[in-house]
Amino acid sequence: MKKFTYGILILLFFLGICFLIFKKDYGFDMVLESEIVPMKEGNSIILEPKNVTIDGVDYLQSQVPIGKFGNKFTSSILGEVKTFNPYNANDATSAELSEIMYDGLVQTNSQTGGVFVKLAKSFEILPDKKTYIVHLRRGIKWSDGKEITADDVYFTYNTVIFEGYGDGSTRDIMLIGGKLPTVEKIDKYTIKFKTPKPFAPFLRNLSASILPKHIFEPITKKGKEAFLTFQGIDTNPKNLVTSGAFRLAEYVPSQRVIFEKNPNYYLINKENQKLPYIDRWVMIITGDVNNQTLKFESGELDVLNVSGTLVNRYRELSKHGDFDLYNLGATSNTTFVVFNLNNRKNKQNKFYVDPIKQAWFQDKNFRSAIDWAINRENLILNVFSGMAKPLYSAEGVNSLFLNETVAKGHPQNVEHAKSLLKKSGFYYKNNELFDKKGNRVKFELLTNAGNTQREATGVSIKQDLENLGIKVNYKAVEFNNLINKLTNYVDFDAIIIALTSNVNEPNSGYNVWTPHGSLHLFNKRTPNDLKESDKLYPFEVELENLFNQGALELDFKKRKIIYDKYQEIIAKENPMIYLYAPLNIVAIRKKVKNIYPTKIGGLIQNMAEIYIDNNS
CA-based radius of gyration for the chain: 24
Q: Is residue 35 part of a domain?
A: no
Cis? peptide before 276, omega within 30° of 0: yes
pLDDT attached to residue 532? 53
Q: Is residue 414 part of a domain?
A: yes
pLDDT attached to residue 560? 94
Q: For residue 608, what are the CA distances in angstroms to 34, 262, 570, 594?
A: 38, 10, 39, 10
Which residues partner with 345 through β-bridges?
351
Please name the helix (run of DSSP H) or strand (run of DSSP E) that holds residue 561, with its range, or none: helix 556-573
Q: Is residue 570 part of a domain?
A: yes
Asked if 374 and 580 touch (Cβ cutoff 8 Å), the reply is no
Kindly report the pTM of this predicted structure.
0.79
DSSP symbol at 513? H
DSSP symbol at 64? S
How much of the chain exceeds pLDDT 90, in percent?
63
Q: Is residue 14 part of a domain?
A: no
Is the pLDDT higher at 180 or at 112? 180
Please name the helix (run of DSSP H) or strand (run of DSSP E) that holds residue 546, with its range, or none: helix 538-552
Cα 268 from Cα 63, distance rounded (Å):
9
Cα 195 from Cα 125, distance rounded (Å):
11
Whether the predicted pLDDT of 19 surpasses 90: no
pLDDT attached to residue 374? 97
Cα 347 from Cα 232, distance rounded (Å):
29
pLDDT attached to residue 14? 31
Give buried/exposed letters for 20-37 (b at 16+ CB in 10 A, else e): ebbeeebebbbeeeeeee
Summarize pLDDT for 104-139 with one digit per residue, the tens. Answer: 999 887 766 778 899 999 999 999 999 999 999 999
Which of 93-97, 247-251, 568-572 has the weakest average pLDDT? 93-97
| Of the candidates 189, 193, 160, 188, the residue with the CA atom closest to the CA atom of residue 176 | 193
pLDDT attached to residue 475? 93
Cα 458 from Cα 465, distance rounded (Å):
11
Cα 58 from Cα 386, distance rounded (Å):
48
| Of the candidates 607, 553, 555, the residue with the CA atom closest to the CA atom of residue 279 | 607
Which band of pLDDT confidence, cut at 50, 70 and 90, is reported for residue 348?
low
Q: What is the mean pLDDT of residues 284-298?
A: 92
Whether the predicted pLDDT of 35 surpasses 70: no
Which of 90-104, 209-223, 252-266 has the weakest average pLDDT? 90-104
Rounded to the nearest integer, the mean pLDDT of the chain is 87
Q: Is residue 556 part of a domain?
A: yes
SS3 240: coil
Whether the predicted pLDDT of 25 surpasses 60: no
pLDDT attached to residue 46? 61
Most confident of 285-294, 482-491, 517-526: 285-294
| Of the candidates 139, 288, 160, the residue with the CA atom closest to the CA atom of residue 215 | 160
Domain interval for residue 526: 333-582
Whether the predicted pLDDT of 590 surpasses 60: yes
Q: What is the mean pLDDT of residues 208-226?
A: 96
Whether the predicted pLDDT of 467 surpasses 60: yes
Which band of pLDDT confidence, cut at 50, 70 and 90, is reported for residue 173?
confident
Whether the predicted pLDDT of 71 surpasses 60: yes
Q: What is the mean pLDDT of residues 154-173?
A: 90
Asked if 418 and 343 touch (Cβ cutoff 8 Å), the reply is no
SS3 255: coil
Which of 165-169, 455-459, 472-476 has the weakest average pLDDT? 165-169
Tell whether the torsion through CA atoms of 85, 86, 91 and 92 is positive or negative: positive
| Of the candidates 242, 304, 240, the residue with the CA atom closest to the CA atom of residue 250 | 240
Tell whether the torsion through CA atoms of 2, 48, 26 and 113 is positive or negative: positive
How much of the chain exceeds pLDDT 70, in percent?
89
Q: Is residue 384 part of a domain?
A: yes
Q: Report the alpha-carbon angle 240-280-596, nearest 5.
A: 110
Cα 53 from Cα 60, distance rounded (Å):
9
Cα 218 from Cα 223, distance rounded (Å):
9
**List of long-range contacts for 15-18, beta carbons under 8 Å, 24+ apart:** 15/109, 15/112, 15/113, 15/114, 17/113, 17/400, 17/556, 18/112, 18/113, 18/114, 18/400, 18/504
Which of 4-13, 221-230, 391-400, 503-512 has the weakest average pLDDT? 4-13
pLDDT attached to residue 452? 84
Please name the helix (run of DSSP H) or strand (run of DSSP E) that holds residue 81, with its range, or none: none
Is the pLDDT higher at 284 or at 17? 284
Whether the predicted pLDDT of 531 surpasses 80: no
Q: Is residue 612 part of a domain?
A: no
SS3 352: coil
Please name the helix (run of DSSP H) or strand (run of DSSP E) that holds residue 45, with its range, or none: none
Cα 88 from Cα 482, distance rounded (Å):
17
Cα 279 from Cα 297, distance rounded (Å):
24
Asked if 210 and 105 touch (Cβ cutoff 8 Å), the reply is yes
SS3 586: strand
| Residues in the chain, overall count | 616
Instruction: Check which CATH number belongs to the domain holding 404 and give it.
Output: 3.10.105.10
Please name the helix (run of DSSP H) or strand (run of DSSP E) that holds residue 199, with its range, or none: none
Q: Is residue 530 part of a domain?
A: yes
Cα 171 from Cα 180, distance rounded (Å):
8
How does DSSP assign 117-144, residue by residue? ESSEEEEEE-TTSSEEEEEEPSS-B-TT
pLDDT attached to residue 72? 97
Question: How many domains, in total, are found in the chain?
Answer: 1
SS3 287: coil
Is the pLDDT higher at 166 or at 112? 166
Q: What is the residue type of 322?
A: D
Cα 610 from Cα 597, distance rounded (Å):
12
Cα 214 from Cα 270, distance rounded (Å):
33
pLDDT attached to residue 271? 97
Q: What is the mean pLDDT of residues 320-326?
A: 92
